[in-house]
Amino acid sequence: MKETAEAFWVHRFEMQSLQYLRTLMTLRGKPQKMRVQLQGEKNVLIFDLGGGTFDVSILTIDEGSLFEVRATAGDTHLGGEDFDNRLVNHFAEEFKRKYKKDLRSNPRALRRLRSAAERAKRTLSSSTEATIEIDALYEGVDFYTKISRARFEELCVLVGGSTRIPKVQSLLQQFFCGKTLNLSINPDEAVAYGAAIQAAILSGDKSSAIQDVLLVDVAPLSLGIRNSCTAWSTKVDVTFDLDANGILNVTAKEMSTGNAKNIVIKNDKGRLSQAEIDRMVNEAERYADEDENSVNE
């Protein structure tokens, strides 16, 4: 997923004549927004449950300037959409019980129900009950129902909650023996804020606010080799070098002869060639006036 996302955005940046500096994992951006709130050395757990992915990282923050990632883990197939799906199934079953009609065979009805379910989920983050009203949802039948926060938490017990859902906040507090959660950061802004700080650093910004900021990352996957030789048959020195952009350089050196081989593993699958990017940029510039006129019309 990271490779796909990176390839997608790098293409867009290059096509817009923007300079690509570095790929920053979302959780690496969030703690930098907290730097002004922390004094001394702190261990911090960042809990990030978005629309489609779930990530947790543990960091050590020293004096608000040195960020060292200790460990990271997550689920790339868990997020707010899973809660939406659970609610949609719940309401579809309720509709079927009430009216003896299964709306799941109708894409338009499902889309309308999903939109209403998502609004209900958001409402339940601040209220104890949400109401759904959809006119002519399926075959002319109006659908009206209510759902409580307690019922929503029962439906989503297998997949947890999200950062705005009170249930997950209480679960986190219980896990950490009642410690107060830091809710001062807007989860919608945290990643962009941290990414902006990193962009300023990489661009050579001399602002005193970011002069001492340093992020020490960790590899999300284990690195190693599989030994196919018998013990002591030969001695090979293998070096892994992972740079800040996630490009892995691996060097293997046979110690008795000095022969060495090197391989570079980088996330460039599916990317456009430079010639293709240049062609698309030139076409965009050539037809810019025509596109602008079409928009104005």
Each residue of 116-141: pLDDT tens digit? 998 998 888 888 899 999 999 999 99
Q: What does the alpha-carbon distance between residue 78 and residue 83 come to, in Å, rounded to a whole number?
A: 9
Mean residue pLDDT of the chain comes to 75
CB 165 within 8 A of CB 79: no
Top-confidence range, 46-55, 147-156, 200-209: 147-156
Q: How confident is the model at residue 206 (pLDDT cuts 50, 70, 90)?
A: confident
> When comparing pLDDT for 133 and 227, which is higher?
133
pLDDT of residue 43: 78
Rounded to an integer, the average pLDDT of 13-41 is 56
**Which tens digit of pLDDT belongs to each residue from 232-269?**
677 888 999 888 777 888 999 988 888 999 998 876 65
Rounded to an integer, the average pLDDT of 160-172 is 66
- Domains in the chain, CATH or no CATH each: 1-21+220-297 (no CATH), 26-75+163-216 (3.30.420.40), 80-155 (3.90.640.10)
Q: How confident is the model at residue 93 (pLDDT cuts 50, 70, 90)?
A: very high
**Which tens digit of pLDDT belongs to each residue from 167-205?**
777 777 777 677 777 666 666 666 667 777 777 777 777
Q: How confident is the model at residue 19 (pLDDT cuts 50, 70, 90)?
A: low
Q: How confident is the model at residue 281 (pLDDT cuts 50, 70, 90)?
A: confident
